[in-house]
Amino acid sequence: MTSPITIRLGGRARARIAAEGVQPADIAIVPAAAGGPKGLILNGLDCWLFGDFLTEAPRQRRLVGASIGAWRMAASAFHDPVAAHRRLARLYAGQRYPDKVTPAYVSQTCRALLDELLDGRAAEAVNHPHHHVSVLAVRGIGALGNTNGARWREMTGFLLAAAGNALSRKRLAASMERVVFHHQHDDARWLRDDFDAFAGHFVGLTEDNLRDALLASGSIPLVLQAVTHIAGAPDGAYWDGGLIDYHLHLPYQRDPGLVLYPHFSDHIVPGWLDKSMPWRRARDAALDNMILVSPSADFVSKLPNAKLPDRKDFTVYGQDHDRRNRDWLHAIGESERMAEAFARWCEKPDLKQAASF
């Protein structure tokens, strides 16, 4: 039977697993990509990982995410992570929008979704003794930093950012800065030393700013409004963290532990604007200590429409919300097969089944 998962290993991860197997105590970092509805396909893995596997070896771990990845990592830090992940999946799949929708309406809907997800328990997510959540967002510069609610300025800023990024990823740093909202007991030192062209801001994650940080991390320009006046953060307009960190190409090799990355793709794209540029896919030392698990092509082919849920579905399904919700929930249910397959592999890892980066 064809496996529902694909596994990729960095060199250091492969050597550690060959010597010791897959040990929960070795997992130091769990990244979570931006990508909107695509992240729903990881629900089964999230429930198994945080409700079972990692509970076998409590230790300080860094959970770092952007956009829906940040929402998933916040859910992972609740006292009952399985219930939180199931709530997130239900709420996200249940979004409904009219035919003509404004960014203000989408922002209002996502704000309400996050309020229901957090359910008055933000303290659990920001104070977890072992799971140190970091939420990645973007602070706009120039036109993206001072739109004053003017759509033309937002459009201008986004087009300038895209044009700069087309020339080189370094040019994107002229339009935006990385913001890391980090756990109070983790100063995010591994991200403070320079590793790319982007200026960084580091803000403590608190009960007062968690909801706004999560909303900012998923606020796509022209789709949602910028988030402003985030408690403890520098003034400015905050946008989707995936613009810089789409698949989170971060300096993981700085940590002596392993990185366990449940991902909806078998490769890592640095920024959202790099999606159509395969030559920018990550292939460097940052992946050396990584275990990446993703849905296999065969698994995806058996999902509704033979694809992962994605943001275009809101348009494709139109006002047939019930059918979209049904198909997304079906995909979420199928994700449990991925968790079962990966759990079996972790119990008895066959390195021949794992590709290399």
* Model confidence band, residue 42 (pLDDT cutoffs 50, 70, 90): very high
Q: Beta 27-32 vs 61-66: how paired, if at all?
A: parallel
- pLDDT of 85 > 80? The answer is yes
pLDDT at position 45, please?
98
Check: CB of residue 345 under 8 Å from CB of residue 45. Answer: no
Check: CB of residue 16 under 8 Å from CB of residue 258. Answer: yes
Average pLDDT, integer, range 268-293: 96
Taking CA 33 as the corner, what is the angle to CA 324 and CA 6, rounded to the nearest 5 degrees? 85
pLDDT at position 146, please?
76
- pLDDT of 93 > 70? The answer is yes
**pLDDT single digits (tens) 163-181:** 999 999 999 999 999 999 9
* Model confidence band, residue 31 (pLDDT cutoffs 50, 70, 90): very high
Question: Residues 6 or more apart from 327 whose CB is under 8 A from it?
Answer: 304, 305, 309, 313, 317
pLDDT at position 333, please?
98
* Model confidence band, residue 29 (pLDDT cutoffs 50, 70, 90): very high
Domain boundary assignment for the chain: 5-356
pLDDT at position 149, please?
66
Cα(64)–Cα(278) distance, integer angstroms: 24
- pLDDT of 270 > 80? The answer is yes
Which among 285, 273, 344, 254 is positioned nearest to 64, based on CA atoms?
254
**pLDDT single digits (tens) 229-251:** 999 999 999 999 999 999 999 99
Check: CB of residue 26 under 8 Å from CB of residue 257. Answer: yes
Strand, coil or helix: 129? coil
- pLDDT of 59 > 80? The answer is yes
Which among 57, 192, 185, 90 is positioned nearest to 133, based on CA atoms?
185
What average pLDDT does the chain have? 96
**pLDDT single digits (tens) 284-306:** 999 999 999 999 999 999 999 99
**pLDDT single digits (tens) 345-356:** 999 999 999 999
Which among 4, 28, 3 is positioned nearest to 16, based on CA atoms?
28
Looking at the chain, list the stretches that DSSP marks H as alpha helix, in order from N- to C-terminal side. 11-20, 43-51, 68-76, 81-93, 103-118, 122-126, 151-167, 169-172, 189-192, 210-217, 297-301, 313-316, 321-347
Check: CB of residue 234 under 8 Å from CB of residue 201. Answer: yes
Q: Is 314 exposed, middle or buried (0-12, 13-18, 19+ CB in 10 A)?
A: middle
Check: CB of residue 329 under 8 Å from CB of residue 93. Answer: yes
Strand, coil or helix: 61? strand
pLDDT at position 43, please?
98
Average pLDDT, integer, range 199-211: 97
